[in-house]
Amino acid sequence: MDLTIPRIIMWQVLVGTVLTAVLLGVFGKVAGYSAMLGSLAAVIPNAFLALRLIAPRRDPGAEALIRAAWIGEIGKLALTVLIFTLVFTLVRPLSAAALFAGFIATQLVTFSGLLMRSKQETDTSNTNGS
């Protein structure tokens, strides 16, 4: 089983936690919980998409995987909108800068994880006699 997706989610949680702790220590409580909420606005939808992609399916074909990816992406988008709507309507006071810093930092982990996977695949293909 490929562990790339669970590792990316784990790193997203870790980055969000570290950023929350740093902003809490430097800028105070509002920045801390705002960063945490921003991080959760990225992690929860990404975890939903990840579960859609790695969950076992009755039909193991490519068409079923594409359908799962579409449903996962639509659900991810809907969850992201829902979380941001709830945060902006229910949380007072809120630091928008810290909220978006948490969201963006957590989302960037996805790209770094995919880049690491790409590098691992390149390294593996080079050691297999290429």
Q: Is residue 38 part of a domain?
A: yes
pLDDT of residue 19: 97
Global pTM value: 0.84
Q: Is residue 129 part of a domain?
A: no
Domain tally, the chain:
1
Expressed as residue numbers, the domain containing 26 is 4-122
Q: Is residue 20 part of a domain?
A: yes
pLDDT of residue 83: 98
Q: Is residue 71 part of a domain?
A: yes
Q: pLDDT for 34-90, tens place per residue?
A: 999 999 999 999 999 999 888 877 777 888 889 889 999 999 999 999 999 999 999
Q: Name the band, by pLDDT with cuts 50, 70 and 90, for residue 96.
A: very high
Q: Is the pLDDT of residue 105 over 90?
A: yes
Per the document, the length of the chain is 130
Q: Which carries the bigger pLDDT value, residue 81 or residue 114? A: 81
Q: Is residue 128 part of a domain?
A: no
pLDDT of residue 125: 62
Distances (CA, A) of 87 to 27, 51, 73, 90, 94: 19, 24, 21, 5, 8
Q: Is residue 130 part of a domain?
A: no
Q: Is residue 51 part of a domain?
A: yes
